[in-house]
Amino acid sequence: MADYDDDEIESFDLDDDDPRESASSRDLAEADDDLEADGDDDLDDDLEDADPEDIDFIIAAYREDGQSMVNALSEDLANDLEELITQLRRLPGDGGAVGLLSLVGEVAIIVRVRGRHVQLMLSDNAAANDWPIARDIADYLGEDIPDEDDDDSEPIGDMKILSDLGVSEFDLTTMCDDLDLGSDQLLTEVADKIKIGPQFRKVIDSEFGD
């Protein structure tokens, strides 16, 4: 796992005192219970795990001792929402951590963990038909999974997940709705908006470059 820091980047401020609670922002213990129950039902046994070539990147961002940090995460976490939440929770962030995952240039996932507070965003609910982690997110959120032939897909989760960091609900929704914007590009724009863009690109180039 590679770490990058930049003294000039000071605005990535993960505030741990956010009282908001929604269907996409829940207690970690409740989330773990739901994920374990879903595992017992073997709901995604028919879905193949994402292979390394399917994973554009999986990255964590957090703030430690006033410094913004960006780390590459294990690609295994791209198939395991419960473990991804656990690993983000273990990072020594001053106010939690954000996970950014892009799959096949088409699926963007944002996971934000602040103590027991968990928020999720999936750019395309139809991805739940293809990828185990997307299925887990839909299940966690209590969202219906669209039929495979349904063309009316949409983002699900908390579109305000990064609003306090500079990515408004409108901005994130607009990016998800832009069919010409790949998921890797979407998350790069997110990284720029929360002012970790240079670090983000360094990690991608060094850890996920061809």
- pLDDT digit string, tens, across residues 98-148: 999 999 999 999 999 999 999 999 999 999 999 999 999 999 999 999 988
pTM: 0.83
Rg (Cα) of the chain, in Å, rounded? 16
Burial 135-149 (b: 16+ CB within 10 A, else e): bbbbbbbebebbeee
Task: Give the pLDDT band (50/70/90) at residue 47.
Answer: very high
| For residue 89, pLDDT beyond 80 | yes
More confident residue, 124 or 25: 124
Q: Name the H helices within the chain.
A: 28-40, 81-90, 132-141, 169-177, 183-193, 197-207
How far apart are alpha carbons 124 and 116 in whole angstroms? 25
Classified as helix, coil or strand, 24 is coil
Q: b/e per residue, 84-103, with b = 16+ CB within 10 A?
A: bbebbbebebbebbbbbbbb
